[in-house]
Structure formats: C-alpha cells, structure tokens
Amino acid sequence: MLRLNLSTEPRWLDLGHGVRLLVEPLTTAIMLAARSDPTIIAAAEADRASSNDDLARIVAKAVARIVVKDWDGVGNEDGQPLTLTAEGIDALLELWPIFEAFQTKYIAGALILDAEKNV
C-alpha cells in the first residue's frame, strides 16, 4: 500500500554526526527543478557524469540546494556555526557519511517509489 504524507511543512532530517537539515518534502516539482539545474545540464553536455556515482553526487547536490532551508550541527574549523549557503551544502555533501545518509534517508525513498511503479 502506498502511504501518502500530504504535509507540505519542512521537517528535520538527521544525517548523523550531529548534523540535521531542515528539508522540504521531495516532490515532483523539486525533482524537475533539480533536473534543470545548470550543474546537471553542464555535466550532461560535457559528458562529465561518467558513472552513476558521479551523477548521484551531482543530483544530490542539486536537490539539496533546493530543499534545504536550514541546518544544525555544521560549523567552521573553530566550531562556530556556519550560515547556510549553496557552497556550504555542496561541501557538506562531499563528506561521504553525510552524502550516504542524505541519499538513503531523503532521495532514495522517492527513487524506490518511482522504481516500484515501473515493475
């Protein structure tokens, strides 16, 4: 059975290591917006996304730049909290455990649902 969560309110997503992201629900509109992100278009045109892993990283960053509205537990070298920026989101997702958690806890749910409709 498909369970719909009709809430449009952002929710906190715990990525471990003391990091939380306030994210909007992942919708079709967000996925379509991410697909038109300049970094995805540039990668496709330059054929830089040479593997599924490269593409997953590029898409995760594009989605995160759209849906992340706040974060907690992210600081600079001195431990001072950092202000949320697109560059900061990209840097955060370059950390393997954070990327994996974001993929598994946020993006994978939508992709699994999409795959199930094609079975």
Q: Where are the domains of the chain?
A: 11-107
Interatomic CA distance for residues 58 and 64, integer angstroms: 10
pLDDT attached to residue 118: 45
pTM of the predicted model as reported, rounded to 2 decimal places: 0.82
**pLDDT tens for residues 25-80?**
999 899 899 888 888 877 777 665 557 788 889 999 999 999 999 999 999 999 99
| Residue 55 structure tokens | 């593409």
Q: Is 15 in a helix, a strand, or coil?
A: strand
* Beta carbons of 12 and 25 less than 8 angstroms apart: no
